[in-house]
Structure 1
């Protein structure tokens, strides 16, 4: 059986940032930094490239709001995105269990 590839940490942090509410790109960057406790400090170089890829994977969706002739784009998590978070959690739990099982006595 071939194991499926894990999502990148950045993908998971973005999905976690969007769990409660849709956010603008800049707000996603700030929330990812906070959730990751500073481990992921920036999406500056290509936040929109990452978001575009996640849109293509149907992990997130876009809603637009027009405010005083200004278009504001919000990114929100999809059901597939929510499922992905829990799938990753399960994979990590299995990995942790296997690591503990195979490192007993080596501490």
Structure 2
């Protein structure tokens, strides 16, 4: 099963967390939270399900295990395929950011659009700019 692109944010951040060095589950959870500015809080079940999927896709692999305070701590690392996928996704996102930034810079300051039309003063029916005509021909 191939990893879809674009990557979903949790997958992107898990791969990003592992880009620097092998990490264990709690380390990945903490790093993903930091990378997302606290917006994404992975639960252990979600993380390990994602790691199993990423391992099956050969984007991540087990690095080593150690016992800490009587508990097994399994470390994961990014594979070369994982690094390639993360690099491609990073480049895709960079191009999108550049395109959006270029469009924002090209727009004159103080203007905005709604539905493709330039906004100006709001002229509602019944205001001086658009009086409502009554069936009798008089103004409202």
Q: Is TM (by shorter chain) over 0.5?
A: yes
Indicate the SS of the match to 1:41: coil
What TM-score results when the alignment is normalised by the length of structure 1? 0.78
Report the Cα distance in structure 2 between the residues aligned to 1:64 and 1:54, rounded to whole angstroms.
16
Correspondence for 2:13? 13
Dislocated runs of 4+, deviation >4 Å: 100-104
- Alignment CA distance shift 1:41-1:5 (3 Å): same
Counterpart mapping for 1:48-67 below 5 A: 48-67=48-67
- Structure 1 residue runs of 5 or longer lacking an equivalent are none
Indicate the SS of the match to 1:49: helix
- Superposed displacement of residue 42, structure 1: 2.3
- Superposed displacement of residue 15, structure 1: 1.2
Matched length: 104
Is the 8 Å Cα contact of residues 5 and 89 (structure 2) preserved in structure 1?
A: no
Is the 8 Å Cα contact of residues 25 and 44 (structure 2) preserved in structure 1?
A: no
Q: After superposition, what is the alpha-carbon deviation per residue over 1:13-36, rounded to whole angstroms, capped at 9, x for unaligned?
A: 111111221111111101110111
**Which structure has the larger Rg?**
2
Indicate the SS of the match to 2:33: helix
What TM-score results when the alignment is normalised by the length of structure 2? 0.62
Q: After superposition, what is the alpha-carbon deviation per residue over 1:32-77, rounded to whole angstroms, capped at 9, x for unaligned?
A: 1011110112233421101101111111110233548754311111
Indicate the SS of the match to 1:74: strand
Q: Which structure shows the bigger proportion of residues in helix conformation?
A: 1
| Aligned-pair Cα RMSD in Å | 2.5
Report the Cα distance in structure 1 between the residues aligned to 2:95 and 2:102, rounded to whole angstroms.
11
Report the Cα distance in structure 2 between the residues aligned to 1:43 and 1:35, rounded to whole angstroms.
15
